Amino acid sequence: MTESWRQSMNIGIVHFMAFPTGDPVEQIRYLGEDDFFDVVEIKPYEQPVMEQIKSICEQAGMSVGIGAQPGLLGPKLSLNDPDEAGRKAAIDSVKGAIDAGYFMDARIVACLSGPMPDSEADIPAAVDLMADSCVQICNYAKEKAGDYCIYLSVEQFDDTTDKKCLIGPNDLTIQLAEKVRAQVDNFGITADLSHLPMLPGGTEGILSGLAPYLIHMHAGNCVSADESLHLYGDLHPRFGYPGGENDVPELVEFLEALINIGYFKSDVPTDKPVLTFEVKPYDGDTSELIIAHTKRTFKRAWAQL
């Protein structure tokens, strides 16, 4: 099959999701040997590990993105924490990811918001705190910049199902983007096919509303219709997983929506717009097989466009 998608995008994979355990250096070497992937998204590691990963990616001609999400989710840090000490810890965590990004020549560092407040009356203040945190991080990226500046991208998550994040519903995501972009220009939004079934508005409706701010895309699957299933929530099983929401037809719809909103022709900080797959092995799956399955799923979807 002609790889016509290479004219429009760079395909990536989230390493720490596809390989939840094991040696990251050898795993990224495995990914680097597969010329399907142009981008690998990693979390920050200790410096000796980062040096090895950087060497592998340079040899493979593969770009790097940095995911700050694990550093926030693991210790339950929140960029919209009303406690200033807690919010500072979250900001410092993402600043560390910015440092890792510059070391790896990454153009984007992705993060997520903290939880949705229990009271609706507290939401405006939470959005203001989140915006202030993002501006601080973006300014830090500007201060550390050399010949280019890293962009911060906030990933839109579910607001009621699993992570229950402030960002979140489209209206709050757009509010955040407007507030931050009014102060800094190195900011954008990441949308994820895995999260769209858990949000109102439908695929094209959500993406068209976010279009002016999208600089980075994720794609994967979730289980959100049946709470009795053991993978219910934002767990990123393989495409087509029993009880899951996304397979080839939904990926086709997602790609069509991205084409329709002009994402693949948009001005982004990376050399081409990035579409990164985020899948995780469960129930006896192996990382290698679900990666192969993901590649086949994308090729089947692309062939239908």
Give the CATH number of the domain where residue 187 resides: 3.20.20.150
Compute CA 147 distance to the chain's CA centroid, rounded to the nearest angstrom.
Answer: 24
φ and ψ of 31, to 5 deg: -65, -40
Rounded CA separation 148/105 (Å): 9
Domain that holds residue 257: 4-304
pLDDT for 3 = 79
| Gap between the Cα atoms of 299 and 248, Å rounded | 9
Spans of the chain, pLDDT less than 70: 1-2
Q: What is the pLDDT of residue 175?
A: 98
What pLDDT score was predicted for residue 1?
A: 40
**How many domains does the chain fold into?**
1
Q: What is the pLDDT of residue 2?
A: 54
At residue 95, the pLDDT reads 98
How far are the Cα atoms of 57, 198, 222, 259, 301 from residue 281, in angstroms, in the given order? 23, 21, 13, 29, 21
